[in-house]
Amino acid sequence: MDVRKEIVTLLQSKNLKVSSAESCTGGLISQMITSVPGASSVFELGVCSYSNDIKMKVLEVRKETIAEFTEVSYRCAEEMASGVLKLSGADIAISTTGYAGPSGGTEENPVGTVYIGLACGDEVTSEKKNFNEDLCNNRALICQRCAEYCLSKLCSMVKNM
């Protein structure tokens, strides 16, 4: 089954709602979920928080977090996920922040690095992944791989709920 349909079906079967806070994926996760008929019963909110200002004002990412860890960090991803969960009232939230390329990145976080945050209730986790293997800094493919991975991650989480 297509991962887009799978997450919608799983959420419907468990009567759960999801929200997203996306930076580097630019709303692709939201688009992938809402492209499935019936998604309105499970998708609460998608925030495309590309600027640090919006991360802070809308998602309540702390200014200190960005100053100390930067906007491309596990702390920022976790605060983004917590913020959209609180804002939406959903059961689960996912966030992405990273370097989609083709430029940008650092030695520690090269192009393709994405921090993914997951929030459910009071639990918040994050993960660092690099989606640039063999993609030659192809922005669109990095975002696509990341969004598909995030939907698979959501499916695993929902299955265990």
pLDDT at 133: 80
Which whole number is the average pLDDT over 36-59?
A: 97
**Tokens encoding 153:** 């991650």
User: Could you read off the pLDDT of 1-39 as tens digits, one per residue?
Assistant: 699 999 999 999 999 999 999 999 999 999 999 999 999
Cα–Cα distance measured from residue 95 to residue 102, given in angstroms and rounded to the nearest whole number: 21
pLDDT at 3: 93
* Residue extents of the structural domains in the chain: 3-159
What does pTM read for this prediction? 0.96
The b/e string for 105-131 (b: 16+ C-beta within 10 A; e otherwise) is beeebebbbbbbbbbbeeebebeebbb
In this predicted structure, the answer to whether residue 141 has a pLDDT above a threshold of 90 is yes
CA angle, residues 15, 17, 40, in degrees to nearest 5: 95
Sheet holding 43-48, edge to edge: 43-48, 18-22, 92-98, 113-120, 123-130
Spatial contact of 45 and 90, defined as CB atoms under 8 Å apart? yes
User: Could you read off the pLDDT of 60-106 as tens digits, one per residue?
Assistant: 999 999 999 999 999 999 999 999 999 999 999 999 999 998 888 89
pLDDT at 134: 76
pLDDT at 136: 77
pLDDT at 104: 87
User: Within 13 Å of residue 138, how many CA atoms lie on the same side as its CB?
Assistant: 8
pLDDT at 67: 97
One DSSP character per residue, the chain reads: --HHHHHHHHHHHTT--EEEEESTTTTHHHHHHHTSTTGGGTEEEEEE--SHHHHHHTT---HHHHHHH-SSSHHHHHHHHHHHHHHH--SEEEEEEE--SSS---SSS-TTEEEEEEEETTEEEEEEEE--TTTTT-HHHHHHHHHHHHHHHHHHHHHT-
pLDDT at 48: 97
User: Could you read off the pLDDT of 120-129 as tens digits, one per residue?
Assistant: 999 999 999 9
In this predicted structure, the answer to whether residue 109 has a pLDDT above a threshold of 90 is yes
pLDDT at 137: 83
Which whole number is the average pLDDT over 125-148?
A: 91
**Tokens encoding 130:** 């690099």
Q: Which CATH topology does 3-159 take? A: Maf protein (3.90.950)
